[in-house]
Structure 1
Amino acid sequence: MPRVQPGKHSGRYGSARKHSRALWLAAALFLPAVPLQAQDAAEQGISLLGSVRTGLTYAPAVQSERREVLKSEASLTEARSTYDPSLTLSSGYRKDAGLAESGSNRHTLSSSLALSQRLPSGITLAPTLSLVRRSTNLEGTTAETEGSAGMSIVVPLSRGLGSRNLSRATRNAARQSLEAEQEQLVATLATSAYRTASAYWDYVYACSQLDLAHLLTQSARHQLNATRVLAEADQIARLMVEQADAYLQQSRASELSAALALEERWHALLLAMGQDPADYPVPAKPSDDFPVPENDFPAGLPSLETLRRAALRNRSDLRSEALATAAAATTLEGYRNEQKPDVSLTLWGGYGGTSAGDEVGDYFTALNHNIPGTSLSASLSWAIEGGNRANQAAFQTRLAMLEQRRIEEAALQRSVGSGVATALSSVRNAAALYRLNLVSAEAYGRLKEGEMKKFRMGLSDIFNLQTASNNLASADLQLLAAKKAFAQAILDLRMATGSLVEVTDGSVRLTSANLVSLPTEEEGRP
């Protein structure tokens, strides 16, 4: 495993605290709300893992994607509702005046119960029960009740039959779309972690840059004081005092610019975390510093092909695209089925019975009394749509959508290998730059100390001292930029290989190691 030395911030913004606890995001859907407290942040500082965790909870992109998952769940529920049974219960009363032979009124009471169940195969089952009682108000007559029970079966013979009918395809596509959105949520969580961590490193860089500017201002002030002492002793010209004072003012201006950059980076970090900068006017102390490569780097760094295979295995955005393409293909098959002729066979079987009597029980006994036998019927229907243009247009639309999905999926797959190669090169390049700039900064530090001693002894002038100070400041900034580049390169490689967050059994796991260490061959999904 390639070794990376984690950093601890030790400038004017305080010491670091270790954060080794893991963050578990149950089912990749809901995170525990951990709001950032303004007073705590200002007093205790802000960590890399804490910033990322807050961003995973409150970042607008994450919250929006969670809503997309809920919408996909609702779409799946709606698609499944096609196969929900439909129960209809009806009853009615009718009075016909003077229709009976005696001129009396006829009373008709009817009740029916119908159930309709559509099966995934496209077949519809519809059992029914009905009762009709007729009576008159003439004395000596008895109410008569007719009852019937039956079952109708509607079998589509072409359109709507089989595993590829539109309703079934819509349901299956909705399930695939939900899985795609769940994978996209994981990808969005990784993107949020990447953006927040990048904003955190920008903020750490701004803090360190302000520290360097402050040290340069202090050095310029010491140079001015030393120049005044030498000028009062008539060892150097008083013009040198003006030169030293001008150098001090220039250093102070650089410090003011660094302070403004710090405020800008603080606001950018808060926005990445989903927070309002107005609620946190005082920048917090960063408690984590840049990770740096150890001396044996890049020993143990996985090969490019290994990292490419890991990316194809781990990337949630790739999985999401593949599932979305599969959903589009499933939907297309449903619309292909809709282009077939609309031919259906309806089968019915049932019986009828009668009963006489005015009691309540006599009303229901018609279903099992005086049954002469069973009735059967069959009918064939064929609906002809002139031109069938609507179904053809719908099919062409879904075909174009599927082709678009395939183009996007192929483009993403092609970019994976290139992204991994670029990120791996960035890691190696940033590590090499760090080592070179570290040697340079140490050398310029020794030169500046030697020049300061010579100046105090009157063996050098203010120009040489200022040149040495500027060279050291430039080397320190280059070293700081190299540290930031290495930290950013780690994030880039983690993002490119899909190992910034870990997915295990439907849960997303994030630790500080995912943010500051290089990926290994074993990491990621099995």
Structure 2
Amino acid sequence: MRYCRYIMLFAMTVYAADVYSQSRIKADLVQIAYGAFSKNPNIIRSSYVVQNVASDLQIQRSVFDLNSFSELLLRSDQYSLLEADPRRSVMDNIHLKTNVLNFSTGVRKKIRTGQIAEFGINYGFTNNNYPFNSFNQPVNSYLGNNASTLNLSLIQPLARGRGRNIATALERSYVLYVENAKSNNEYINSYELWQIGTAYWNYYTAFKSLDIYKQSEARIRTVLSVTKDLVEGDKKPAGDLIQIKADLASQERLTIAAEQELYAAKIQLGKVAGLSSEESLLLDIPENEYPTVARSLYKKVIDQADFIRIAKEERADLRAARQSNEALRQQYQLAENNIKPQLDLTGFFSYGSVSTGNGATDVLSSFSNNLGKTIGTGAKLTFTFPVNNNLAKGNLTKSYVTLNDQGVILNNIERTIALEVSNDLNYLNNSVSNLEKAEEITNYNQEVYNNEQLKFKSGLTTLLSLILFQERLTTAQLRHLQAYQQFATAIINLRHDTGTLIDGDNKGFIIDQNAFYTIPETLDTKR
């Protein structure tokens, strides 16, 4: 029975651990970052922008779609003949009735070299109750006349709209706008990932800070216990207990504040990751530790120019600005072309034939009859030019201003990148120096505190001195932790500002954990 109870207890423990794990969200930095792609509203909205611009490109390509057209006309007319009309003498009544059927169909397409081609077929059928045909030959009433025509035309712009570069300018500009949207989407994702990384390290710092405050509490409780023993042995005055209890109460207050900071850091991490308030509270303890200097590829001598070069090659916002600039250049060329007058040369060819009769064979023979066949060719020039042309001139001015404004934006991004990278490298260098000093100070304070404890137990030092060194140790540990956070933040800052925090492929975006732990590789870091 005793073994059964142990087995039951073990099973319940495993079950409780499984339920707990299912109710928690793993606080892994990369996993949280990947989860943001489906939860972060800014990332989701950015992907919609890409889809929207892609649909704009599809609309622009519709200009070159093959378009079909058709028309069917049925018409019946009744004309009352005048008394002096000689046709009244050969008709049974005074009404001339005419029936018309006309059907046309064809296709039209704008070619990417600028021409417009059209091919069409027209079939017409007419009859009436007049007993003579157009040659004054007697025929049956309502004898049908069939006429068919094939038409081919080609319009060649000679001024406005001439050439492939102009005809496809808008299409090519929107291809660039799609790439621009993708690049902006990459930059937004990098920015959101930067926020997630920053919030994660803040969460990890808050978690470790709480642990330091709890360790500080434990040290004070140990001092309190030792002091009680010394007071009972008449080696220390009872008044020392009051001082230690006051210090313990102060430390407990700091621990409560640290718990609040941990809660706020957890909520902030959930916020930037796109989690709900309920999901944010389910975040488990952080799993990823701080990066180390040894692993980070950091070297004291770093060529700033290498990182600026990498940033100018990899930054998605700079790439997006260049793509937007080229798209606006295409549109400016189109606006320049629209200043020209409209001068079109149209060449056309037509083939037609006629037949008489109401049967199906008569309809078909209207396409092939040699008698009545008509072949036509020709050309025409069409000239159109608005006298003031204010619309084209205004659009050209707006296009010029927009293009130059985009040039200012592009130059400003390049300027800002150099400043940001310079600042990031300075911050990185300072964070490494700060981390090394903070570690050195923590080790010294730990050693001093350990020695002071031994001296206090031996009665060689005062309680206030021990409390002072305990507080110094806690402060040193917290600053050491903050120095680690500063170093981790420096890495992610440099990664984001050099455009190397996130990578894209045909399937989406790739997040490499090394992006949070190492600086970008250059010739210096590879040596």
Q: Normalised by the size of structure 1, how large is the TM-score?
A: 0.87
> Secondary structure, in 3 states, of the residue corresponding to 2:292?
strand
* Structure whose CA Rg is larger: 2
DSSP-derived class of the 1:293 partner: coil
Task: Tell me how far 1:388 sits from its aligned partner.
Answer: 1.1
Q: Deviations over 1:155-177 (max 9, x none)?
A: 22211112343x52111100011
Alpha-carbon distance in 2 for matches of 1:150, 1:174 = 35
Equivalent residue, structure 1, for 2:268: 268
- Secondary structure of residue in 2 paired with 1:284: strand
Equivalence for 1:171: 171
State the alpha-carbon separation in 2 of the partners of residues 309 and 99 from structure 1: 89
Counterparts of residues 338-357 of structure 1 (less than 5 Å): 338-357=338-357
The answer to whether the 8 Å contact 1:38/1:280 transfers is no
Task: Give the gaps of 5 or more residues in structure 2.
Answer: 1-17, 82-86, 132-138
Distance, in Å, in 2 between the alignment partners of 1:39 and 1:518 is 37
Query: Which residue of structure 2 lines up, in the alignment, with residue 318 of structure 1?
Result: 318
Matches within 5 A, 1:103-502: 103-137=95-129, 140-141=140-141, 142-165=143-166, 168-294=168-294, 298-299=298-299, 303-369=303-369, 370-502=371-503
1:206 and 1:289 map into 2 onto residues whose CA distance is 13
User: Which of the residues 18, 24, 27 maps onto 1:46?
Assistant: 27
Aligned to 2:73: 92
| Distance change (3 Å), C-alpha of 1:175 and 1:57 | same
CA–CA separation in structure 2 for the residues paired with 1:99 and 1:381: 42
Paired residues of 1:220 and 1:244 also in contact (CA < 8 A): yes
Q: Unaligned regions of 5+ residues in structure 1, if any?
A: 1-36
C-alpha separation between the residues in 2 aligned to 1:283 and 1:240?
A: 42
Mean alpha-carbon deviation: is it higher for 303-312 or for 487-496?
303-312
Secondary structure of 1:87 counterpart: strand
State the 1:391 CA deviation.
1.5
* 1:47 maps to amino acid: D
Q: 1:131-183: per-residue Cα shift (whole Å, max 9, x none)?
A: 11111356724311112111222222211112343x52111100011111112
Q: Which amino acid aligns with 1:106?
A: T
Deviates more, 1:41-50 or 1:425-434: 41-50
How many pairs were matched up? Answer: 486
Whole-angstrom distance in 2 between the partners of 1:174 and 1:271: 35
Find the aligned partners of 1:274 and 1:229 in 2 and give their Cα distance. 54
Q: Distance in 2 between matches of 1:98 and 1:296?
A: 97
CA RMSD of aligned residues (A): 2.4
Of 30, 38, 61, which residue of structure 2 is paired with 1:57? 38
Q: How does 1:60-79 map to 2 (within 5 A)?
A: 60-79=41-60
Could you tell me how far apart the structure 1 residues matched to 2:513 and 2:521 are? 15
- 1:325 is paired with a residue of what secondary structure? helix
Counting helix residues as a fraction of each chain, which structure ranks higher? 2
Q: Distance in 1 between matches of 2:31 and 2:300?
A: 29
Secondary structure at the aligned position of 2:164 is classed as coil
The TM-score with structure 2 as length reference comes to 0.87
1:120–1:38 CA distance, 2 compared to 1 (3 A): farther
Percentage of pairs with the same residue: 18
Superposed CA deviations along residues 295-350 of structure 1, whole A, max 9, x for unmatched, are 99744975222222222222222111111110111111111111111222233221
Q: Distance in 1 between matches of 2:332 and 2:60?
A: 16
| CA displacement, residues 343-394 of structure 1 (integer Å, 9 cap, x when unaligned) | 2223322132111111123223212213444222333222232311112112
Query: Is the CA contact (8 Å cut-off) linking 2:266 and 2:281 kept in structure 1?
Result: no
Give the match's secondary structure for 1:368.
coil
Partners in 1 of 2:104 and 2:28 — Cα distance? 69
RCO higher in 1 or 2 (8 Å CA, sep ≥ 6)?
Answer: 1
